[in-house]
Structure 1
């Protein structure tokens, strides 16, 4: 093969990876929602990054019924406000102290990507989460928190749990649309491996990493996932895991990548065939919310009512 042919092949691979990852990233943005009633603004931070209703009341004190504050972690290209506008107020109504953050921002990203998170390396985002959990524990007096995460937020916190000392500070871990084995969506794992075989690793990084370092970490076979699954798998001793999956997940491919050995694994359609929620809609799914309630309070489970849910999140709740 001529040098010119190799150059064309390398360039085509770089462009293919960049376009595919950007397309997937944009698809991860939760569906548009009707604007919720704004939470009371308590600080400049809230003005710049408003939390969802029901979240970040730093005067909240956990009750005997719900002693652990709930920390919500959003997905890629989302933020605390748009990812949790449905679940946060309903958890608060149930009597939980609810807290959320926007993690993994990229200050070099162009607008509107400056308003969303999950773009930084997941190791860095896990360090942000560690500091936030310590702040929540200090403010509430709680010894431990429970984590509820969606998409990237179902995966990234486990780096904190396993490698940054979080196992002693987290009691329950609920992941929605998780991906412990990564995703093969759009053939990105194949493109990533092909790029490495062609010696394109640095070139791919130049294209993708300035915008979204975490994107390649999601791909099956990535170094991040290899470490996460080391030493017998991702589950940390002493933490109670619940994984909530949907058969209609178009971004976690295959959806069974979200199964975790030793966890309470729930496929929404096993108990509710009329639930058609896809990846983003699970965070706005009343059936998924019932499973979250039961996972957070396993001593008082309630029967999960099956409801028809469309593939996309509704425009209002």
Structure 2
């Protein structure tokens, strides 16, 4: 599936309530199953014998976005971080299928899955804490784990790509959702859309999920170091400034690299983004970010 296909699928899931889609029941929160052909790990990820080095003591947990999975979201970044000496781990959460499509469960449930996975990583590596690198939903959902499920004691650095702390107004869907609620249609939307994509309405500006995450001083949790990476060309996070987070180091790619045209999906395959991630994970050895021209689309092979 190319970039346009993934975008169309997300918008259709939000806009067409009552679609007759058969979805397998969501799994209970538990450590991820052994690797299988339906949910392969990306290159460089999930080596459970990896021992963190003194230079990189925190394992890195990669958290994919809506409608993605660990393999198609992290085909570029996972091997790059592993090659730099990090112990890299990834999971597919909130999934239905086959084919495996992740991020569909309500984010509270996905946060429980992430919690179990982080505990498994810590047990396997002996590390006290992990660093999280997330994309899209993976930049937002983990904060529920950090803020409400005890993750603040287990997460050191938290890097988000194309985040949306204030939600998104994509295609006017947030307004349509609010209008439907005002007209008393919320039970209809909940019964028809939520079984297909329990997380979809949670992304919309003004959702109950976002209100809870932004309560009591905001999403940022004391003791966790946040870095947010945004792109002005984000067509799914509208406005892109929804990704700005108080208490974080906020990076807009085009501020330092005007020739970086990466949109929402392509950010995960962007060498400029990768440099920012490596600096965020190891700020004591940060290097100047070299501006490289980047096209707007993710590589076709990486998003299929």
TM > 0.5 fold call: yes
- Which residue is equivalent to 2:192? 207
Question: Which of residues 159, 162, 165 in structure 2 aligns to 1:177?
Answer: 162
Query: Is residue 61 from structure 1 mapped to residue 51 from structure 2 by the alignment?
Result: yes
Question: Which of residues 224, 230, 239 in structure 1 aligns to 2:209?
Answer: 224
- Which residue is equivalent to 2:292? 307
The Cα shift of 1:48 comes to 3.0
CA spacing shift, 1:18–1:257, aligned 2, 3 Å: closer
Q: Deviations over 1:252-295 (max 9, x none)?
A: 00000000011000000000000000000000000000000000
Separation in structure 2 between the aligned mates of residue 120 and residue 316 of structure 1, nearest angstrom = 26
- Which residue is equivalent to 1:49? 39
The Cα shift of 1:161 comes to 0.2
Secondary structure of 1:61 counterpart? coil
The Cα shift of 1:106 comes to 3.3
Query: Is residue 138 from structure 1 mapped to residue 123 from structure 2 by the alignment?
Result: yes
- Which residue is equivalent to 2:30? none
Separation in structure 2 between the aligned mates of residue 314 and residue 174 of structure 1, nearest angstrom = 22
Query: Is residue 122 from structure 1 mapped to residue 112 from structure 2 by the alignment?
Result: no
Question: How many corresponding residue pairs?
Answer: 277
Correspondence list, 1:133-282, <5 A = 133-282=118-267
Provide the aligned C-alpha RMSD in A.
Answer: 1.6
Specify every segment of 5 or more residues in structure 2 that has no aligned partner in the other structure, as ranges: 1-9, 17-32
Correspondence list, 1:61-100, <5 A = 61-100=51-90
Q: Deviations over 1:95-147 (max 9, x none)?
A: 0000000000136xxx64xx111000000000000000000000000000000
Specify every segment of 5 or more residues in structure 1 that has no aligned partner in the other structure, as ranges: 1-16, 24-42
Q: Judge conservation of contact 1:77–1:116 (CA < 8 Å) in 2.
A: yes
The structure number with the bigger radius of gyration is 1
The Cα shift of 1:207 comes to 1.9
The Cα shift of 1:315 comes to 3.8
Separation in structure 2 between the aligned mates of residue 259 and residue 18 of structure 1, nearest angstrom = 23
Separation in structure 1 between the aligned mates of residue 255 and residue 191 of structure 2, nearest angstrom = 43
Q: Deviations over 1:157-207 (max 9, x none)?
A: 000000000000000000000000000011111001100011000101122
CA spacing shift, 1:75–1:162, aligned 2, 3 Å: same
Q: Deviations over 1:39-82 (max 9, x none)?
A: xxxx8533331000000000000000000000000000000000
Secondary structure of 1:47 counterpart? coil
